[in-house]
Structure 1
Amino acid sequence: MDGIELTERAARRINEIMSGEPAGSMLRISVNGGGCSGFSYAFDIDRTRNEDDLVVERDGAGILVDAVSLQYMGGSRIDFVDDLIGQSFKIENPLATASCGCGTSFSL
């Protein structure tokens, strides 16, 4: 299974978000059942790192992904976009067979 790539833009935005959080905080990305396409991504700030978490770091920014979520996200690229519909993290997931218009849910 491939790892997860964090783009420079995503790392920069994570660093901006974490500058207002307690030391040791990281962005946790997880996959939950539900959403309009079957699965959805959740983004939380977490100070707890579990033994089975994958830690992805770039330019001082870090994300946590639990082992179960990693099964659904392997090989993904996490980017940050700022376009006409707003700002958001965008996950390009090669395992997803379909995704919804909002970009936060997908199916396998």
Structure 2
Amino acid sequence: MASVATATVRAVKGRRLIPTRAALVLTANAVKKVKQLLEKEPSALGLKVGVRQRGCNGLSYTLNYATEKGKFDEEVIQDGVRVIIDKKAQLTLLGTEMDYVKSKLSEEFVFNNPNIKGTCGCGESFSV
């Protein structure tokens, strides 16, 4: 299945994100983009974040439309959008900020993650 959007990962060093009860915090840009994606797929429950084995460093994030919430999946509702976190991705996302960044060359979700030990050169895969 093809992903809904692309995502990169940034290891955040020396910066503590604001602690919240949510497993994932979305920036205003991320909320806006998730709303746009969900408008295209009205039958979707929300956006689902998962992980899969990929790349030179081990793991990468996947973004798909959620059609259901699994028993052990985490749910984050922020500013009117719902993000479902797959049970396999939960430990890699704790304390992470999800942003949406546009540049001249690309548009993508960026996960600013303080738990990452290493990333590949392109930022596509990571290890914890």
Q: Provide TM-score, normalisation by structure 1.
A: 0.88
Runs of 5+ consecutive residues of structure 1 not aligned to the other structure: none
Which segment drifts farther, 88-97 or 49-58?
49-58
Report SS of the residue matched to 1:72.
Answer: helix
Q: Percent identity between the aligned chains?
A: 28
Which segment drifts farther, 48-57 or 23-32?
23-32
Distance 1:2 1:16 in 2: 22
| Structure 1 segments of 4+ aligned residues over 2 angstroms from their partners | 22-25, 100-104
1:34 corresponds to: 54
**Letter of the structure 2 residue corresponding to residue 65 of structure 1:** I
RMSD across aligned positions (CA): 1.8
CA deviation vs aligned residue, 1:15-74 (integer Å, no higher than 9, x gap): 001101123431111111222211111111121111211111222111111222101221
Which segment drifts farther, 79-88 or 94-103?
94-103
2:75 touches 2:84 (CA, 8 Å); kept in 1?
yes
**Letter of the structure 2 residue corresponding to residue 41 of structure 1:** Y
**Letter of the structure 1 residue corresponding to residue 76 of structure 2:** V
Of structures 1 and 2, the one with the larger relative CO (CA 8 A, separation 6+) is 2
Q: Does 1:11 align with 2:22?
A: no
In the TM superposition, 1:1-108 aligns within 5 A as: 3-108=23-128
**Letter of the structure 1 residue corresponding to residue 73 of structure 2:** D
2:18 corresponds to: none
**Letter of the structure 1 residue corresponding to residue 34 of structure 2:** I
**Letter of the structure 2 residue corresponding to residue 98 of structure 1:** G
Q: CA deviation at 1:103?
A: 2.6
Runs of 5+ consecutive residues of structure 2 not aligned to the other structure: 1-20
Q: Provide TM-score, normalisation by structure 2.
A: 0.76
